[in-house]
């Protein structure tokens, strides 16, 4: 049954909306493969080009992921995960956190459990030449190996997934600490112990008293797109997180890369009335 009648203004948007609707109402379920483009074109009374373009649009919004040669799939996570920026920095919460520190746990984990998912982590540690903006914040040499880099790739896996299944990549968190602070300490170990980095830094005399976060929305780099299985025209939130000591020294910078469609960011604070 063709449908050539309407003046066809923005046919691909009509198809895109049909796809969104089917994802939202569960006709297409998370993880499921969509019908091939020609089939869907037939079904919707359209043509392959329009369907391809529609899929591109919806994929850029984060609802679909395409894999060349294989098909278009509904994203496994189609609702937002909340990242509570401020709430995580309370001592009570920090003490109950696991080895990988505050960021990986607490609210984030609870958030995922509500979706029947569990967090997985792939940490790594190395020494490196810092990116220029990070070097500037930390006040270290941008041309030398002057920072310890703690890299965490974070996933969300179905609660019943086998240990080998990492699940969906949801975040890249890269922490930079000046080499003269972290070099040769437990901060170069994968496991930093109870309370994580923040507690260790405090024990070394670098107690954090103030946090700043800057948020920028942009397209992912090819590497980010690859790891997060995003299209190049998706969007990521880049959060540059900086921790200062009472002496106003920046002791830690963490850059978080989050698929923008996957997350909701939350901050809260008291007003100074003095």
Alpha carbon 242 to its chain centroid, in Å, reads 18
Closest CA to 34 of 42, 45, 23: 23
- Going by C-beta distance under 8 Å and a sequence separation of 6 or more, which residues neighbour residue 129? 142, 143, 144, 145, 146, 147
- Going by C-beta distance under 8 Å and a sequence separation of 6 or more, which residues neighbour residue 48? 37, 38, 41
Question: CB 271 → a copy of itself: shortest distance, Å?
Answer: 5
CA torsion 214→217→222→223, rounded to 10°?
Answer: 30
Task: Please report, as residue ranges, which positions from 60 to 119 form the binding site for a copy of itself (by CB under 8 A).
Answer: 60-61, 80, 82, 85-86, 89-91
55 part of the interface to a copy of itself, by CB under 8 A: no
To which residue do tokens 């002791």 refer? 251
| Cα 167 to Cα 144: distance, rounded to the nearest angstrom | 36
Strand-strand pairing, 64-67 and 250-259: unpaired
Stretch touching DNA by CB under 7 A, among 53-61, 96-104, 203-211, 265-273 = 53-61
Question: CB 127 → a copy of itself: shortest distance, Å?
Answer: 27
> Judged by CB under 7 A, which of 20, 42, 71, 211 binds DNA?
71
Length of the chain: 274
Which of DNA, a copy of itself, none lies near 269, with the C-beta cut-off 5 to 8 A by kind? a copy of itself
Which of a copy of itself, DNA, none lies near 17, with the C-beta cut-off 5 to 8 A by kind? none
Which of DNA, a copy of itself, none lies near 214, with the C-beta cut-off 5 to 8 A by kind? a copy of itself
232 part of the interface to a copy of itself, by CB under 8 A: yes
Alpha-carbon Rg for the chain in angstroms: 22
Residue 156 vs residues 33, 88, 113: alpha-carbon distances, Å: 20, 19, 10
Question: CB 70 → DNA: shortest distance, Å?
Answer: 4
Which of a copy of itself, DNA, none lies near 34, with the C-beta cut-off 5 to 8 A by kind? DNA
Which of DNA, a copy of itself, none lies near 176, with the C-beta cut-off 5 to 8 A by kind? none
Q: Kind and range of the H or E element at 57?
A: helix 48-60
Task: Please report, as residue ranges, which positions from 9 to 38 form the binding site for DNA (by CB under 7 A).
Answer: 9-13, 34, 36-38
> Judged by CB under 7 A, which of 17, 22, 30, 47 binds DNA?
47
> Judged by CB under 8 A, which of 213, 225, 227, 229 binds a copy of itself?
213
Which of DNA, a copy of itself, none lies near 211, with the C-beta cut-off 5 to 8 A by kind? a copy of itself
Residue 106 vs residues 99, 119, 166: alpha-carbon distances, Å: 12, 11, 20
| Cα 150 to Cα 136: distance, rounded to the nearest angstrom | 18
Interacting residues with DNA (CB under 7 A): 4, 7-13, 34, 36-39, 46-50, 52-53, 55-56, 66-72
Interacting residues with a copy of itself (CB under 8 A): 13, 57, 60-61, 80, 82, 85-86, 89-91, 207-219, 232-233, 235, 237, 260-261, 264-274
């Amino acid at each position: 049954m063709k449908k050539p009648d309407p003046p066809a203004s923005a046919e691909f948007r009509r198809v895109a909306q049909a796809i969104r609707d089917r994802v939202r109402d569960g006709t297409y379920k998370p993880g499921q493969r969509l019908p091939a483009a020609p089939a869907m074109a037939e079904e919707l009374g359209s043509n392959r080009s329009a369907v391809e373009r529609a899929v591109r649009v919806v994929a850029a919004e984060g609802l679909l992921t395409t894999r060349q040669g294989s098909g278009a799939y509904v994203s496994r996570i189609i609702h937002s995960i909340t990242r509570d920026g401020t709430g995580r920095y309370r001592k009570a919460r920090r003490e109950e956190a696991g080895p990988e520190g505050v960021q990986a746990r607490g609210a984030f984990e609870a958030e995922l459990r509500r979706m029947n998912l569990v967090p997985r982590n792939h940490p790594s540690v190395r020494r490196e030449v810092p990116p220029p903006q990070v070097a500037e914040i930390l006040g270290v040499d941008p041309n030398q190996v002057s920072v310890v880099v703690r890299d965490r790739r974070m996933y969300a896996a179905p609660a019943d997934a086998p240990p080998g299944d990492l699940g969906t990549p949801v975040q890249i968190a890269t922490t930079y600490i000046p080499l003269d602070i972290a070099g040769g300490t437990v901060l170069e170990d994968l496991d930093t112990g109870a309370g994580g980095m923040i507690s260790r830094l405090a024990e070394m005399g670098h107690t954090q008293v103030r946090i700043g976060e800057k948020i920028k929305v942009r397209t992912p780099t090819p590497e980010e797109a690859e790891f997060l299985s995003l299209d190049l025209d998706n969007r990521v939130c880049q959060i540059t997180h900086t921790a200062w000591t009472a002496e106003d020294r920046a002791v830690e910078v963490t850059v978080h890369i989050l698929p923008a469609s996957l997350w909701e960011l939350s901050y809260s604070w008291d007003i100074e009335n003095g």
